[in-house]
Chains A and B, each alone.
Chain A
Amino acid sequence: MDRKLKTALDAAFEAPPPEGKAAFLRAHRRRELRPAALLLTQAGYVHWWTWAGSCVLFAGILVLAAGSEPQAVWSGSALTPLLALLAVAESGRAKRYGMEELELACRMPQSSALLARMAAVGLLHLLLLGISAPILSIWGGTGVVQTGIYLLTPYLLTAAIGMELSRRVRGQQGLLACTATAALVCVIGELAQTVRPELYLEEMLPLWYIALAICLAASGFEFVRMIRESEALQWN
């Protein structure tokens, strides 16, 4: 319809009051929640400092690694626990701010919302680590796979311990415990270069594979548990 005509009609005639509006809306307003739309919507609700912090840490990893050749990969990997901390902190945001109950009573299962948010953050971190690994491997002279293992292991270790602590310790204390864990893993990772330099020899690589597998399994287990427990209140 011509816009001018539409405007003129609107001005000339008054629309009759709606009848049965509420019933009509109830019957027709239910829309399906597609996974992609869910992911995008929830990604928008991830707190801005999770995105900003991740980018800053990524930059920090590259800056530190550039300044510490040939120990590029050790210096860089010391910051990955802080990246994991951002992810764990985001997962516990609803609980920390007392929004858990409200979100649980909504149509969208909280587990889906949480999964979508964690997927968004996890994808970003995977991308950042995926970009860091080849760069650090060139600077540090280690293989890409080896570098990836050194970057991922402290990340997954922090994530696993952080998720367990978030489950057990409620509120701000839980986040405090996660922060302390991330800081500890960060410091120990950096100290290990001087205290136990033998850990970074080629011969120790099989041990790193085992450690990575254990951390991956633990993180996976904790993640599944966290999603399952988000379906209902765990305490009353």
Chain B
Amino acid sequence: MELTVLNLSKHYKDKKAVDGVSLRLTEGINGLLGANGAGKTTLMRILCGILKPTAGSVALDGVDVFSEDYRAVLGYLPQDFGYYPDFTGLDFLLYLAALKGLSRPHAKRKSVELLELVGLADVGKKKIKTYSGGMRQRLGIAQALLNDPRLLIVDEPTAGLDPKERVRFRNLLADLGKDTIVLLSTHIVSDVEHIADHMLMMSEGHIILDEPWDKNRTDLEQLYLEEFGGEDE
């Protein structure tokens, strides 16, 4: 399975949010690092088919990003997302499952399973407005996994999670990465350092690093600072 990105660009008047990005991603964890405003979120939104690029193409095993077949195998967790206040956690998952084309019985089974997986089984029938920030984030992770995605794009997934949950999520991603293309954008180096198979770094709309990553390496932060010209400590 391969995600092919060819010469992707997104321009706004005089600002180039993404500029001529080309990638080939395969199964495994692909970490995406970059400073604020580098274009990571824009890139991810284009890869999810929710933002139209100015130029370039995206395809998953030849299936174009704007087709239904592409979205059928996509799971996406945005950096910031809302919720309908009167929905319970379970309602939220069932609703998105319906949008993902799951049948009702399957959606129910999967929703219960995922609530258990993310540790929200006890509060699944409570309204989302009563959830803490971390609980909402876990719910977001759950919805991204509803349709057993083959391409999982997660933007800052561990924001708001406590260290224990963060470890749990890392392990979950590592497990998923065996047969899924996972693109993980984060500022927390430790989230990606020991599970990534491939590392990408982005700056000012360009990919400045695109290489396989050895999970035994521990110098990711130093590498990041070198690439982005960090201050001497």
| A and B directly contacting (CB within 8 A) | yes
A232 to B49, CA, bound (A): 7
Find out whether the CB atom of B48 lies under 8 angstroms from the CB atom of A236: no
- Residue A188 interfacial (CB < 8 Å): no
Among A69-77, A96-104, A211-219, the stretch that binds chain B is A96-104
Among A29-37, A55-63, A138-146, A157-165, the stretch that binds chain B is A29-37
Find out whether the CB atom of B81 lies under 8 angstroms from the CB atom of A102: yes
CB closest residue in chain A, given B153: A105
Contact of A33 among B10, B41, B78, B101 (CB under 8 A): B101
Q: Is the interface of A mostly helix, strand, loop or mixed?
A: loop
Find out whether the CB atom of A30 lies under 8 angstroms from the CB atom of B52: no
Find out whether the CB atom of A99 lies under 8 angstroms from the CB atom of B101: no
CB closest residue in chain A, given B48: A105
Q: Is the interface of B mostly helix, strand, loop or mixed?
A: loop
- Residue A195 interfacial (CB < 8 Å): no
- Residue B147 interfacial (CB < 8 Å): yes
- Residue A220 interfacial (CB < 8 Å): no
Give the B interface residue count (CB, 8 A).
37
Find out whether the CB atom of A101 lies under 8 angstroms from the CB atom of B98: no
Residues of A within 8 A of B41 (CB): 236
- Residue A25 interfacial (CB < 8 Å): yes
Query: Digit string of A222-236 for contact with B (CB within 8 Å is 1, else 0)?
Result: 000000000011001
A25 to B101, CA, bound (A): 14
- Residue B208 interfacial (CB < 8 Å): no
- Residue A210 interfacial (CB < 8 Å): no
Nearest CB of chain A from residue B80's CB, rounded to whole Å: 7
Contact of B143 among A30, A45, A93, A102 (CB under 8 A): A102
A1 to B220, CA, bound (A): 60
- Residue A108 interfacial (CB < 8 Å): yes
Nearest CB of chain B from residue A17's CB, rounded to whole Å: 16
Residues of B within 8 A of A104 (CB): 48-50
- Residue B228 interfacial (CB < 8 Å): no
Residues of B within 8 A of A233 (CB): 45, 50-51
- Residue A22 interfacial (CB < 8 Å): yes
Find out whether the CB atom of B42 lies under 8 angstroms from the CB atom of A236: yes
Among B27-35, B82-90, B163-171, B195-203, the stretch that binds chain A is B82-90
5 tightest Cβ-Cβ pairs between the two chains A and B: A98-B82, A105-B76, A106-B99, A104-B50, A107-B72
